[in-house]
Structure 1
Amino acid sequence: MESRLEPAALRLQLLGPLQVSRGAHPLALPSSRKVRALAAYLAMATHEVSRGHLCELLWDLPNDPRGELRWCLSKLRAVLDEPGHARVQANGDALRLDLTGCEVDVLQVSHTLQSGMASLDAGALRALAALFRGDFLQGLEIPRSAAYSAWLTAQRRRFRAGQVAVLERLALVLPAGSGEAIACIEAWLRLAPFDVRAHERLFEALAEGGRLREGDEHLAATAR
């Protein structure tokens, strides 16, 4: 009897430009920003979302927001649904994205941050840090969508803070003064240039690595 191959795992990456892939193969996404934003919002939702809420989130009083939403959903289904498995699911007026068997970077990061990183070794922390390819939904702003813009800003702030926490923890478990530890702290500083702790840690790491002149230069630059 022939065995039926299981479909490759679906992967959604929201940290950085939105990317969707199945196995090792990236999927072509519709060019519509609202279709992409809809995919991301449903992937982040912890419960079913009403069509009315989505219309208010993504549309600025168009003539037929529900008609546009239906069009967006049809485009999303064409990308995400699998034979015998509808990922985009409707329950009356409510919508949800079935993520069974999916890999979603933001959900992985959120779960790890909530569970705590104390038990993670350097390898696990490196893998976690690598999930941050850029800002949350980088480049996916939508003009004249105030509710969506507010949500996007809040999520970006949240995940930047999460990235800082990961980099700080990774720098702590790496060998003191190593080039990798210093690179982590420098990445932390790029995200939070006014974080006094990051400046102190960089100075200490440079000193521990025998790079006293660079430490003094950083201290002088910070004082200015």
Structure 2
Amino acid sequence: MNKAIFIKTLGSLTLSRDGQELPLPASKKTRALLAFLAISARPHRRERLCELFWEAPDDPRGALRWSLSKLRGVLKSTTEMGPIIADRERAQLNLEGIDIDFSTIRKTLFDQHAVLPLAELRSIAAMLEQPLLDGLDLPNQPGFQSWLVAEREDARLLRVNVMRRLTLHPEIEHQEACNWARRWLELDPFSDGAAEARVMTLRRLGQLAEAQQVIDHFTSSLQSAGLTINAKFETSLQEYDRKDQEEPNRTLLRQQNISFCKTADNVRIAYATVGSGRPIVKAANWLNHLELDWDSPIWGDLFHALAKDRTFIRYDERGNGLSDWDVDEINQAVFVNDLETVVDQLELKKFPLLGISQGCAVSIEYAVRHPERVSALILISGYASGWRIGASVEEQAKREAVMTLTQHGWGGKNPAYRHIFTQTFMPDAKPEELDWFDEFQRQTTSPENAVRFQQAFADIDVRALLSQVNVPTIVFHSRHDQRISLEQGREVANGIPNARFVALESNNHILLGHEPAWQVVMDETERFLAEHKL
């Protein structure tokens, strides 16, 4: 039986089989050839390999044959194909049964959508501390040396990736996050993301003087290098400063607690609690990410306002954010189940429930299923039935076309496809708010799930449940909402017994903290809850 082979490339190159280290060839070029074939993981023309490792006067073809024979002897594979797959033109390493540390790390970091466990990220960070192929430089072979320099830069970028993930990990303690942010900035000294993370983690620890020193040093370093500070970095810091001055307790509110629970169908759901006092729960909507949207220019004002005097609870439903992305079902029924799972996990007895957009339908169905738990409904920009129900043929065709565009363009760097959504969600948003939401959507879910969400929203139908809602309800809707019409909002309010309807002077589907309509929602909600002593 062929036992697994492990090739360690971080640090000094080593080779082991079933935990027992194997002797490597004495020839440094042969060891370098093994590393090159292992990491590149593809066939190479023999001429190219000769150019990389041997000079013309030294019979490079003969040297290559000798090195490949040495590698066959070391690997001693019993697979049918053998350890080296070669013909007269090409050669490659047979990777069947071979694990390579650097390749595994790279695949883990780039294939994993959900949050990796802290312990795994710490382990990866420790491994990436070691130089790639330490001591295997071939200064007299410029082709190989150029490849090695490029791979080491890739390893550095992987370290940056891990430092960022650790700094922003939802389960990490503030002091550890601060330490990882420092190392992130040391590794990527001109990154505004690293600088901002370092400043914010210091501020959360109350180390304001140190935070200012980071800002001053970062700005000075950019100027010395002839670079211009990113306007978004300055705007972000100014926004934090403004909000801290307006709300002295805001820094404390930033310390939300993120945890995870499992649904009945074994899907991991991320949820966050922040603030103190009586609970208020927000149902999930398009799209959520507990870390990215907490202090965002889109949702930040709303979330902090809700957490000011209450325990504010929200979650990422399946398929996006910090919850599991690879799931069997995405539909209205499981959306409600996700909400049930979070509420049960927290053992909440009674609470107001906030729904936004399709989150309104989830809230309505939950309130009908669990009238003993919901004390009131606050519904914003909602609808009772999706666009496949009652929409014109033309409208359905437009929506289907958008889903096609989503499927093919969502994950790319060009935001044009996502911008379709952004413009209809917030036609009156500032350019920086539109840019943020474009990028936020890309990071929050996969192209496949973005399409699946749209399909699920199209089929929502809670019209028959409206008359069964038996809790105080207030419904808000923008008069000129370009995604969900005012008539659809009125339908929700008219169908729920004794619901109060408030029309808002806005063009936006997602209300923004700087527009008057947002303050109307905050004021009316506060009066509504006070009226019902909630």
Higher relative contact order (CA 8 A, sep 6+): 1
1:30 partner letter: P
2:97 counterpart (74, 95, 101): 101
3-state SS of the aligned residue for 1:197? helix
Q: Does 1:91 align with 2:87?
A: yes
Q: CA-to-partner distance for each residue in 1:5-32, whole Å, 9 max, x for gaps?
A: x454211122333222222222232343
Tell me the distance in 2 between the aligned counterparts of 1:109 and 1:21: 18
Q: What CA RMSD, in Å, does the superposition of the two structures yield over aligned residues?
A: 2.6
Question: Equivalent residue for 2:159?
Answer: 163
Alignment match, 2:490? none
Residue 58 of structure 1 aligns with an amino acid whose one-letter code is F
1:68-119, Cα deviation, whole Å (9 max, x unpaired)? 1122222222222235663123233321211112211222233234324444
Residues 118 and 171 of structure 2 are in contact (CA less than 8 Å); yes or no, is this contact kept in structure 1? no
Give the structure-1-normalised TM-score.
0.83
Q: Does residue 46 of structure 2 align to residue 51 of structure 1?
A: yes
Of 64, 79, 102, which aligns to 2:59?
Answer: 64
Residue 17 of structure 2 corresponds to residue 22 of structure 1: yes
Deviates further, 42-51 or 213-222: 213-222
Aligned to 2:122: 126
Q: 1:222 to 1:71 in 2, by over 3 A?
A: same
**Range that drifts further, 212-221 or 166-175:** 212-221
Residues 178 and 209 in structure 1, CA contact (< 8 A), matched pair in contact too:
yes
2-structure distance, mates of 1:100, 1:176: 37
* Distance across 2 between alignment mates of 1:107 and 1:114: 11
Q: Is the 8 Å Cα contact of residues 2 and 79 (structure 2) preserved in structure 1?
A: no
8 Å contact from structure 1 (residues 177, 207) kept in 2: no
1:204 aligns with 2:200: yes
Q: Counterpart of 1:173 in 2: which secondary structure?
A: coil
CA distance in 1, matches of 2:8, 2:182: 24
The CA distance in 1 between the partners of 2:18 and 2:186, in whole Å, is 33
Contact in 2 for aligned 1:60/1:144 (Cα 8 Å): no
Q: Does structure 1 retain, via aligned residues, the 8 Å contact 2:10–2:102?
A: yes
1:114 to 97, 110, 114: 110
| 1:168 Cα deviation from its structure 2 partner | 0.4
- Per-residue CA deviation, residues 129-158 of structure 1 (Å, 9 max, x unaligned), is 344242322332102212112211222222
Deviations 1:158-204, CA, capped at 9 Å, x for gaps: 22112211220121115566333233223323322222321221122
Mapped to 2, the partners of 1:106 and 1:176 lie a distance apart of 25
Asked whether the 8 Å contact 1:87–1:98 carries over to 2, the reply is yes
2:158 & 2:89 partners in 1: Cα distance? 34
Specify the alignment match of 2:139 in structure 1. 143
Q: Indicate the SS of the match to 1:62.
A: helix
Distance of 1:178 and 1:94 partners within structure 2: 52
Instruction: Report the Cα distance in structure 2 between the residues aligned to 1:183 and 1:80, rounded to whole angstroms.
Output: 41
Q: Conserved in 2, the CA contact under 8 Å of 1:175 and 1:181?
A: no
Identity %: 36
- Write the letter of the residue equivalent to 2:189: P
Most deviating of 168-177 and 89-98? 168-177
C-alpha change, 1:30 and 1:190, in structure 2 (3 Å) is: farther
Aligned mates of 1:106, 1:114 — CA distance in 2 = 12
Contact in 1 for aligned 2:199/2:215 (Cα 8 Å): yes
Taking the TM superposition and a 5 Å limit, the aligned residue runs for 1:170-209 are: 170-175=166-171, 178-209=174-205
Q: Could you state the TM-score of these two structures normalised by the residue count of structure 2?
A: 0.38
Query: What amino acid does structure 1 have at the position aligned with 2:56?
Result: L
Gaps of 5+ in 2: 221-534
